[in-house]
Amino acid sequence: MLDAKGVTTPLATSVILKLADGSAPTDQKQYRQLVGALQYLSITRPDIAFAVNRLSQFMHQPTHLHWQAAKRVLRYLKATSTLSFYLAPRALFDLITYSDFDWGSPISWSSKKQRTVARSSTEAEYKAIANAAAETN
């Protein structure tokens, strides 16, 4: 992977990851090790969190397509290794909380899904706001 060409997105938009994709199975142990390392890395790189979440859904039966998608995340990390977070020092610190739901995209950056299924968008919004408020304490 040291000589691999970098990419600009962690997941390819043309590839749909699904359980039975018809490609050959890959080594489970190797796949789990890579995805586990990516999960740990996503703590400091939230830009890969969605991709890692998708890849972790196939830990029990990874295929060659899943392995290629996991390696793409590594290529993305190589291309974006110079990116970093910068928090400018300020005299006053304001805590601002944002809350959103959109039926399936990344949820809270605490990286957890709601424990129950919301029966309406209002209920989902309420739960997201309650979780955001709880995280600020």
- More confident of the two residues 73 and 120: 73
Give residue-wise pLDDT tens across range 30-81: 999 999 999 999 988 888 999 999 999 999 999 999 999 999 999 999 999 8
- More confident of the two residues 41 and 18: 41
For the entire predicted model, the pTM comes to 0.65
Q: Residue 110, exposed/middle/buried by CB under 10 A (0-12, 13-18, 19+)?
A: exposed
pLDDT at 137: 61
Q: What percent of the chain has pLDDT over 90?
A: 39
